[in-house]
């Protein structure tokens, strides 16, 4: 009795231990699912992340499933079970390949770091200490596995053995073998080859007995339900179409499908295919066809219709392939339609230049691959975070670093001040923080939009190059359906930043020389070329500098040649305004509101027009009044008409970016500028004067409260030339000549007024233009002198009226057309 009681007691203790252990594992696993569930949950989550890295989230659900299995089956899972072993192999292989990917990113040029285990340990320790997110790969276990495999087999050997481990894990987990996978595949392949050979052997004599070739419409061999090989294809054994009574609504089968059908029927119908053409009475054949028009006799009777070729009415069914429903089909209909389709694809659209072939968007292989950034020690980020906290404490500011984002150009430390600490105190310590961190300049964002933290942006020692290709290949760019998607770069967190010019709807870009403005313009143009065909988008480019945008002249997207003359640019802008008005008239006639709805209902869709001005300051100097008026009208009304502006200038002063232009262009980009005044002119806020150059920008989209710091895309001249060459090979531009034609001379009075050439000569020689000057020199009245000054302004000789200031003389010599 005592022994039995002790055995029961031991069994009960074992069951209690099993239940307690399983419930404890379930509870701890649930806590580990979220770090917000107390200190224990955060500690468990960090511990699992330390061991398993980025794949630590798999462990808690697996432990919960194992504990439930133990509670239900009253025994723990067996680790030597094939499925369990297969899962463990797959998970270990996942950790190995995760660390292989991390190693690739941490290696500057494929060189092995001093210790990948130490690097992983420091990354995880930094995350545990300050909440700094970092890529952990497969954790310490993945680091150890990778180190061992890399030491034994090298990089490619690790990839090969990792793949073998994955296959082994799959086989164990699925409970199958290589033989069980290969043998059925081999059998199906052999059976298919045998059927194909048999079909070819049986089809050739049957076609030979089928009478004359079916290319002649009056000598068709097929009867009702028989097969017919369509004429007009390349060859009867190649791409010919085959009539099959049960082929569905179309009634036609490709030759490959026909071979499979014949092979199946050959196996089921015995020697029906080999029956002599005349061995069956005509009446018997008719009886079979009437009794079962879609049956086996009709399917196998490839040559049965040859005996009916001379019967009355047989020729009516001969030429066009006879259909069971009484319809007929032209033997060459498919081929003729295909020829028309192929000819139509290559034909240029109305108003377009001839294309050498159907337009294909350029491949990303024309651009350089993303460059591997040299991995920086995470310890330096942790040290800077500690220095930052210590510096703030030194000046009596209580705050702690709660998050760190390392971007391509700057690292942003998110600092959370203690209760009662004013944000202005942190902002006032900008120079002291820069001194403590040995930084060449910092920018403070106080507060970060949507967060209760202050952002302190510290420049990196090395600026990582953001290539255009990596942004074009990003999901954000690929998901965008807009033809006007612009690739801008990456933000501080490393996320790609793309923008839709159609929603902006216009963009103002400003930056000093060498800040990356022209490169960014090239990246924007290239990103549109990767999205839009010449029918979708047209470009009008104005480049007073004559060297930046002329490379795009050969592409078929150009609506006009690149305009380099400032006075002609003013004319082009006025013509674009006229085009906008004409489009609105067409919209009103069609009863639609914008270009998208018009293109949906119209048979002649309109292209979007993107007007790019590389140097707005030059245009404003020559013809400020006309240019400002045209830009203002386009900015106010052109969005619905599908016309969008990208205006760039290296001098963001108030006489260039006027209040009218700023009010109508809410989306802006500021590169590095020389002063805070220029930054406020372009962004209405300070900050652009502290940018680092080389593509470092502040992007203020329409409706945003604060600007986003972005490292702009870099695209080299060689990449642009390759892209232009690829696009230009597909067609030549079809210019709209009316946009660049010189306007008719509206100064009829000046031509008839004999004083006008003399007045022009006087103004050019004296470098002074005023009504009183002309009145004194020529002894004329005020009205005539004022009219002469107005005509000079129209012809671009003098600048606009500036109040008390004298008008500027815009030319250095007398234009040839005014020399008498």
Binding site members: 511-518
Residue 304: exposure state from Cβ atoms within 10 A (0-12, 13-18, ≥19): buried
Q: Are 603 and 660 in contact (CB under 8 A)?
A: no
Tracing tokens 């491949």 back to the chain, one arrives at 363
Cα distance between residue 759 and residue 785, in whole Å:
9
Q: How many CB atoms lie within 10 A of CB 622?
A: 18
Cα torsion 748, 749, 754, 758: sign: negative
Q: What is the DSSP string of 563-575?
A: B--HHHHHHHHHH
Q: Partners of 323 in the beta sheet?
A: none
> How, if at all, do strands 485-491 and 537-542 pair?
unpaired
What does the radius of gyration of the chain's CA atoms come to, in whole angstroms?
39
Q: Are 628 and 658 in contact (CB under 8 A)?
A: yes
Cα torsion 72, 75, 77, 82: sign: negative
Alpha-helix runs per DSSP H in 665-770: 676-683, 717-728, 748-752, 755-766
SS3 410: strand
Q: How many CB atoms lie within 10 A of CB 232?
A: 16
Kind and range of the H or E run holding 163: helix 139-174
Phi, psi (rounded to 5 degrees) for 279:
-75, -5
SS (H, E, C) 764-817: HHHCCECHHHHHHHHCCCHHHHHHHHHHHHHCCCECCCECCECECECCCCCCHH
SS (H, E, C) 631-680: HHHHHHHCCCCCEEEEEEECCCCCCCCCHHHHHHCCEEEECCCCCHHHHH
Q: Please list, in sequence order, all residues whose beta carbon lies within 8 angstroms of the beta carbon of residue 282, skipping any fewer than 6 positions away.
A: 307, 308, 311
Residue 820: name the closest of 725, 776, 774, 755 by CA. Answer: 755
Q: Are 373 and 460 in contact (CB under 8 A)?
A: no
Q: Which positions make up the binding site for ATP? A: 511-518
Q: Are 301 and 201 in contact (CB under 8 A)?
A: no
> How, if at all, do strands 608-613 and 643-649 pair?
parallel
Cis peptide before 298 (omega within 30 of 0): no
369, two tokens: 């691959």
Q: Are 451 and 417 in contact (CB under 8 A)?
A: no
Cα distance between residue 365 and residue 771, in whole Å:
62
Q: What is the DSSP string of 311-366?
A: STTTGGGTTTEE-TTS-EE-TTHHHHHHHHHHHHHHSPPTTSPPBSSS--PPPGGG
Backbone torsion region of residue 742, taken as left when φ is above 0, otherwise alpha when ψ lies between -120 and 50, otherwise beta: beta
């Amino acid at each position: 009795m005592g022994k039995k009681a002790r055995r029961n007691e031991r069994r009960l203790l074992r069951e209690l231990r099993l239940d307690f252990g399983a419930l404890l594992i379930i509870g701890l696993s649930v806590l580990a699912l979220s770090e917000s569930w107390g200190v224990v949950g955060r500690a468990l989550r960090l511990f699992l992340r330390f061991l398993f890295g980025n794949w630590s989230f798999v462990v808690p659900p697996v432990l919960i499933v194992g504990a439930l299995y133990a509670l239900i089956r009253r025994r723990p899972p067996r680790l030597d079970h094939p499925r369990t072993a297969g899962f463990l192999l797959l998970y270990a292989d996942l950790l190995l390949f995760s660390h292989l990917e991390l190693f690739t990113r941490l290696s500057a040029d494929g060189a092995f770091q001093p210790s990948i285990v130490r690097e992983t340990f420091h990354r995880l320790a930094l995350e545990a200490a300050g909440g700094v997110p970092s890529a952990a790969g497969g954790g310490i276990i993945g680091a150890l596995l990778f180190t061992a495999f890399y030491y034994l087999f090298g990089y490619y050997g690790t990839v090969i053995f990792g793949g073998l481990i994955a296959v082994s894990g799959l086989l164990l987990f699925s409970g199958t073998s290589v033989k069980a996978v290969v043998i059925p595949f081999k059998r199906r392949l052999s059976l298919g080859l045998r059927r194909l050979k048999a079909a070819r052997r049986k089809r050739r004599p049957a076609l030979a007995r089928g009478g004359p070739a079916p290319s002649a419409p009056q000598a068709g061999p097929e009867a009702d339900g028989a097969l017919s090989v369509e004429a007009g294809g390349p060859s009867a054994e190649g791409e010919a179409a085959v009539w099959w009574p049960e082929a569905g609504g179309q009634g036609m089968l490709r030759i490959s499908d026909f071979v499979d059908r014949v092979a199946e029927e050959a196996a089921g119908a015995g020697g029906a295919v080999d029956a002599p053409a005349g061995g069956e009475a005509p009446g018997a054949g008719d009886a079979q066809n009437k009794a079962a028009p879609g049956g086996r006799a009709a399917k196998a009777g490839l040559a049965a219709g040859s005996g009916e070729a001379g019967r009355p009415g047989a020729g009516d069914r001969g030429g066009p392939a006879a259909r069971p429903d009484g319809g007929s089909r032209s033997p060459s209909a498919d081929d003729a339609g295909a020829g028309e389709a192929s000819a139509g694809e290559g034909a240029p659209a109305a108003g377009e230049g001839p294309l050498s072939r159907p337009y294909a968007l350029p491949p990303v292989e024309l651009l350089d691959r993303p460059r591997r950034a040299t991995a920086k020690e995470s310890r330096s980020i942790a040290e800077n975070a500690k220095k930052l906290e210590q510096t703030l404490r030194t000046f009596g500011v209580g705050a702690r670093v709660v998050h760190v984002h390392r971007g391509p150009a700057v690292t942003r430390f998110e600092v959370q001040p203690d209760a009662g600490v004013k944000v202005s105190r942190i902002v006032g310590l900008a120079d002291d923080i820069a001194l403590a961190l040995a930084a060449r300049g910092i920018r403070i964002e106080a507060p970060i939009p949507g967060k209760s933290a202050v952002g302190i942006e510290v420049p990196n020692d090395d600026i990582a190059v953001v290539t255009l290709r990596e942004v074009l290949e990003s999901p954000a760019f690929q998901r965008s359906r807009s033809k006007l998607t612009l690739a801008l770069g990456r933000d501080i967190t490393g996320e790609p930043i793309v923008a839709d010019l159609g929603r902006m709807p216009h963009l103002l870009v400003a930056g000093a020389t060498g800040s990356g403005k022209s490169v960014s313009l090239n990246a924007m143009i290239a990103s549109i070329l990767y999205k839009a065909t010449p029918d979708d988008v047209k470009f009008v480019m104005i480049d007073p500098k004559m060297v930046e945008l002329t490379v795009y002249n050969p592409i078929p997207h150009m609506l006009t040649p690149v305009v380099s003359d400032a006075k002609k640019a003013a004319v082009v802008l006025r013509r674009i305004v006229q085009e906008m008005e004409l489009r609105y008239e067409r919209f009103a006639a069609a009863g639609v509101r914008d270009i998208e709805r018009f293109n949906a209902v119209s048979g002649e869709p309109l292209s979007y027009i993107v007007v790019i001005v590389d140097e707005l300051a030059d245009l404003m100097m020559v013809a400020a009044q006309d240019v400002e008026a045209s830009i203002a009208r386009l900015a106010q009304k052109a969005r619905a008409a599908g016309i969008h502006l990208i205006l760039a200038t290296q001098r963001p002063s108030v006489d260039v970016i006027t209040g009218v232009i700023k009010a109508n262009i809410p989306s802006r980009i500021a590169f590095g500028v020389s002063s805070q005044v220029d930054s406020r002119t372009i962004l209405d806020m300070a900050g652009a004067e502290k940018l680092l150059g080389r593509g470092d920008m502040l992007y203020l989209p329409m409706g945003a409260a604060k600007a986003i710091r972005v490292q702009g895309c870099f695209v080299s001249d060689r990449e642009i030339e390759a892209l232009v060459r690829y696009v230009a090979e597909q067609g030549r531009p079809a210019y709209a000549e009316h946009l660049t034609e010189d306007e008719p001379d509206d100064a009829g009075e000046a031509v008839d007024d004999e004083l006008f050439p003399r007045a022009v000569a006087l103004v050019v020689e004296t470098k002074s233009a005023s009504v009183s000057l002309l009145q004194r020199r020529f002894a004329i009245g005020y009205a005539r002198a004022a009219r002469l000054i107005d005509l000079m302004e129209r012809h671009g000789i003098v600048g606009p009226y500036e109040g008390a200031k004298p008008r500027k003389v815009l030319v250095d010599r007398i234009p040839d057309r005014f020399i008498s």
